[in-house]
């Protein structure tokens, strides 16, 4: 019983998971330091949960910051084009392509169709990298590229892109750790939401191991 309580307290402790996220996540930075615009920002999928046919609206995930920051980079003149990389990761809805849905969001945000590239065949991070690299090598040889994805997902994503040989810089977003004041609710009060963060971390760690064994990174 004591062991079970100890494990529960450990995995619901916000300070512990926050420090672990700080260690794992790739450090974000202010886009103001980008002085020369990139040719293309590659925005990885994961921003969309599904498209609601009843309301005719996209329903976003917790990682929608990937999309929002990609739009912001374009509006700030830090990137010239956006490549949306993401097909369907759902076994029972292979026809629902995330990048196709999000293309409409970019158009509604005032981004011209000529500045939007679509890669809608990938089902995972490895395929994001392979398919995007193939497109960019053909359309922008020797171009400058920026990879936009969640800070917790950047290590695996960047490793996949580097494996393809494509030269690309990281722009981490959607940081989960952030700066937390050392108040009781952020240090000692158990929070069940911490379990979501641990699940995310374990998914990434397992992904790193399996991708390494598969030769993807």
* pLDDT band at residue 187 using 50, 70 and 90 as cut-offs: low
The pLDDT score that the predictor gives to residue 217 is 92
Per the domain annotation, does 2 fall within a domain?
Answer: no
Is 6 within the bounds of a domain?
no
Rounded CA separation 194/39 (Å): 38
> Can you give the CATH number for the domain in which 108 is found?
3.40.50.620
Report the number of distinct structural domains present in the chain.
1
* pLDDT over threshold 70, residue 177: yes
Q: Which helix (H) or strand (E) holds 153?
A: none
Mean pLDDT over 159-183 rounds to 88
Which residues does 11 contact at the CB level (< 8 Å), separation at least 6? Answer: 17, 194, 195, 198
Q: Is residue 208 part of a domain?
A: yes
So what's the pLDDT on residue 8? 87
pLDDT tens-digit profile of 40-95?
A: 999 999 999 988 889 999 999 999 999 999 999 999 999 999 999 988 755 445 66
Looking at the domain assignment, is residue 157 inside a domain? yes
Q: With 80 as the cut, is the pLDDT of residue 167 above it?
A: yes
What is the per-residue pLDDT for 95? 67
Percent of the chain at pLDDT > 90 equals 75
């Amino acid at each position: 019983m004591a062991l079970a309580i100890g494990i529960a307290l450990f995995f619901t402790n916000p300070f512990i998971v926050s420090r672990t996220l700080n260690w794992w996540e790739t450090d974000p930075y202010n886009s103001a330091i980008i002085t020369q615009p990139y040719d293309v920002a590659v925005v990885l999928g994961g921003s969309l949960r599904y498209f609601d046919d009843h309301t005719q609206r996209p329903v976003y995930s917790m990682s929608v910051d990937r999309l929002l920051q990609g739009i912001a980079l374009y509006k700030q003149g830090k990137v010239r084009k956006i490549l949306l990389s993401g097909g369907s990761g759902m076994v029972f809805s292979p026809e629902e392509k995330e990048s196709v849905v999000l293309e409409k969001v970019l158009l509604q945000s005032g981004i011209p169709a000529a500045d939007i590239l679509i890669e809608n065949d990938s089902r995972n991070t490895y395929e994001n990298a392979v398919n995007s690299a193939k497109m960019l090598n053909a359309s922008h040889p020797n171009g400058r590229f920026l990879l936009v994805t969640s800070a917790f997902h950047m290590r695996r994503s960047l490793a996949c892109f580097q494996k393809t040989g494509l030269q690309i810089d990281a722009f981490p977003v959607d940081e989960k750790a952030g700066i937390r004041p050392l108040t009781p609710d952020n240090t000692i009060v158990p929070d069940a939401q911490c379990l979501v963060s641990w699940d995310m971390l374990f998914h990434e760690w397992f992904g790193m191991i399996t991708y390494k064994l598969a030769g993807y990174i």
